[in-house]
Structure formats: C-alpha cells, structure tokens
Structure 1
Amino acid sequence: MNILKHIPNSITLANMYCGFLSIGFTVANHFDIAVLLILLGMMLDGIDGRLARRFNANSKVGKELDSLADIITFGIAPCILFSYTNTIEGSVFDYSLAGLFLLSGGFRLARFNSETTKDISYFTGVPITAAGGILALSTLFHSHIPPIGNFLIIAVLSYLMVSKLQIPSFKNISLPNTKTTILILIGVLLLVFDTISITALILTLFYIIYIVYRIRLLRTRKHG
C-alpha cells in the first residue's frame, strides 16, 4: 500500500514534465502539440489530487510539487505560447501581458497555499490551472481573433486569478463517465489538429455546456 501513496506525486511530476515539453514544442513552433501537452497536464492535475485524497497521501512534499507543476505547466508554458503566437512587430505589449499573467498566477498560488482554512466547495479567484488551459486553447484561434481580443483574453484571465470571485470547485463534482470522457478527448483532439473545423467548435461548445450543467447541479444540491 505504501507504493500507492507515491502515485500522486509521480503524476504531479508527469504534469510538470508536460509543461517543460510544451515550452520546448512552442520554441520549435509546434504550437498544436504545445497546447495538447498543457491540456494533458490539466488532466493529470485533476487526477493527482483525487488520488492523493483517495489514498490519504497528502503531504507537504506533494503540496510543494503541485505548486511547482502548476506554475510551470499553467503559468510559464501558456505565457510563452501566447508570446510566440501573438507577437506584434515593434511591440513588447504582448510580452508584458504574458508576464502579468505569470505574476498573477504566482500570486494566486501563494494566496491559496497561505490560506489557513479552506472550503473545498469553492475557489477564491480562478485557479491557474483553468486560466492556463483557457489561455492555451485561445492561442489555437489567435489568427482568427483580432489582436485586441487576444490581449483582452489574457488581461481578463490575469484579473480573474487575483480577484475575490468565488468559483465553484470541481473537487466535489463526480468525474464524467467513460463515454463522456471519450467524447471530450475526441473534441480536444479535433480542436487541436483542425482549429477551423465546425465539428471541433460544436464539440467544444457541448463541453462548455456540460461544465456549466455540472456547476448548476452542484449548486442545486448544495442549496437543496
């Protein structure tokens, strides 16, 4: 059983490695793969926490590793990806905003880790995991979005991370069943490898609707 307690940390390290690989593929101009690695990191980030609670394997080492993985995979990697896909000639505005996103994410993590009492039913401010994933996905459509639109996306995400907004936590939401998970993965793959496909856009829309439905279901159960 002791071996099982090491599984969450191993998954966290795999998450961190996804961030490193994403940076490498971004520098090599393979942006689709870089996005896919960040999305894979998001999946691993959700798995390691659940397994840690299931195996009662929460530890200070695991907490530190999780924060390091978050700042690399959902902070640094998306920032570099944004900078490479949204460069304006003669301007450093995009790099400045990318840096602001990283600082906001770092502050968000520090604030979360310093909280003495935590209610796992909600987050204060958008988690860096979600913000980094959204920023990474937005880079797939950077050529179809006006520059000001891309900058607004990263600016708003930066603000939401440091805000005091209460965001429902997915820790109390059951994992989707196998069929739903397969559908989501197919949608993500289509989105990554064919960004102008109407099928990918439709599947992405269904995924967003599904997430909203789960949040509303959680609120209904909580207040019912």
Structure 2
Amino acid sequence: MKKHIPNLITLGNLLCGTIATILAVQGDFVLAGVFVVIGIVFDFFDGFAARLLNVSGELGKQLDSLADMVTSGVVPGIIMFNLIDLNNNSSFDNSLMDYSLLSFMGLLLTLGACYRLAKFNIDTRQSESFIGLPTPAMSLFVISLPLIQEYSNIEFVQNLIANNYFLIAVTLVLTYLMNAEVALFSLKFKEYSLKNNLVKYLFLLISLVMIVTLNFISVPIIIILYVVLSLIQKIDIPKQNS
C-alpha cells in the first residue's frame, strides 16, 4: 500500500491543476493561482514521500511530469493567453476566432513546459541540479502577474503588466529559460552544513524577507534571483550518459 502513497499525492497535484485550469479559463486568476500553489506543494511532497518510503520508481516519475504538465504547463499558458487578450479589451464571451492572434503567444509557455518535461524524463544529468528553469518556477512567475495587477498599488508595475510587449517578452524569456542549457541549483539538501549550502540558505533567507515585505511582487523577483544566483555559482553541467 505504501508504494501508492506518493502517486496519490501526485494525483492531488493533477486534481489541483485541473481545477486551476477551469478557473483560469473562467478568468478567476486569483483562485486559479491558489490551486496552482497547492498543486506545487503536492509536487514537492510526492518526491519527498517517495524518498522517505523508499518507493521511487519509473511510474512515479512519469506520473509526476504528467501532473506538472497541467499545473505548471497548461495553467500558466492559459493565464498568459488571457492577460494578453484582456489588454486588447477582449471579453471571455468571444468565440475562438474573435481572440487576438497575439494572445496565442501566451501558449508558448505550455509548449515550452511540455518540451522541458519530456526532456527531463530522459535526462540523467538532473539528479542534483536542474538544467533549465523548472516548470513550477515558471508557473509561479506567471500566476503572480494577475495577483500583482490586482493587489499592487505601484503604477509602474501595473503599467508593465498591462503592456503586451512586456508580457510577450516575459513569455519568450521564460520559454527559453525552461529549455536552456543553464544549470540551476536544486533546493534539495543532502546535508545541512552552512559551508556546502551557503547559496541555498542565502536564497531562502532573501526570499523570506521579500515575501514578507513585498507580497506578490516578490514572486517574479525571487525567480529572477534564483536564476542570477545559479549563474553566479557557476554550476557545472554534467555530461549526458549515453
């Protein structure tokens, strides 16, 4: 029975992603974001449970990516699609042909996430670090945008998110980063010494301070900080096993 526990947690991620998809289509970005975050929490704990119970397997690996494809692939693509479309003063009642062609650029995030997850499943180099931006990080970046727009009073930030050139640039950069040959550190700890985990501890400390002080605006800044710190750390990319 214990071997099914991680898979049930993974299915919890998928359920949250499916609910978030429905909400994102309906334009309820706030509640969609809540379910994405819950799904990402499930995504973290399924791997933790598998290691704890020593029941890791190929089925769990494939199931994890399939669930992530919905929660951290389909949902952010739909949200970006709708953000771009709303900036064009469209409504959710339009038929498919009435949407701006520009809006479909947002779905590049979904395609990029799918490609990354497929590569991840056959890449033997990503056991201790990531190569390319993980899809949950991309998803958190995207779902934070409508929340910032809803709850932030900073006019400059509001204007940025209301600008489709900015949204398309974000889409292109995130799609590239997910599939770039760039090594990024993982937050998995083999041991907890300060010497060997200084960058991780620094990242977590700065992130906590920013979340407390900046609220939703902190999310994209934290993702950018994650990439920058990884580049500064200069993590070597392992060779692919043949």
Q: Same fold (TM over 0.5)?
A: yes
Distance in 2 of aligned mates of 1:67 and 1:119: 14
Q: Any conservation in 2 of the 1:85–1:142 contact (CA below 8 Å)?
A: no
Matched, 1:77 2:91: no
Identify the residue that residue 138 of structure 1 maps to in structure 2. 145
The residue aligned with 2:62 is: 64
CA distance in 1, matches of 2:23, 2:107: 20
| Alignment equivalent of 1:208, drawn from 222, 226, 232 | 222
Contact 1:123 1:167 in 2 (8 A): yes
Distance 1:208 1:75 in 2: 20
What are the superposed Cα offsets for residues 130-175 of structure 1, whole Å, 9 maximum, x if unpaired? 1122111123235712222222111110000111010111222789
- TM-aligned CA deviation for residue 54 of structure 1: 1.4
Q: CA deviation at 1:105?
A: 1.0
Partner amino acid for 1:208? I
Query: How far, CA to CA, are the matches of 1:48 and 1:80 in structure 2?
Result: 25
Q: How does 1:108-123 map to 2 (within 5 A)?
A: 108-115=116-123, 117-123=124-130
Give how far 1:4 is off.
2.8
Distance 1:174 1:43, change over 3 A: farther
Note if contact 1:120-1:171 (Cα within 8 Å) is conserved in structure 2. Answer: no
| % same residue | 31
Q: 1:65 to 1:119 in 2, by over 3 A?
A: closer
CA–CA distance in structure 1, aligned partners of residues 7 and 44 of structure 2: 12
CA distance in 2: counterparts of 1:48 and 1:15, whole angstroms = 9
Alignment of 1:140-179 (within 5 A): 140-142=147-149, 144=158, 145=161, 146-172=163-189
Report matched runs for 1:89-108 at 5 Å.
91-95=100-104, 97-108=105-116
Q: Give 5+ residue unaligned stretches, structure 1.
A: 189-197, 220-224
TM-score in terms of structure 2 length: 0.69
Q: RMSD of the alignment, in Å?
A: 3.2
Q: Which runs of 5+ in 2 are unaligned?
A: 91-98, 151-157, 193-199, 234-242
Shift of 1:81: 1.7
Per mean C-alpha deviation after superposition, the further-off stretch among 155-164 and 20-29 is 20-29
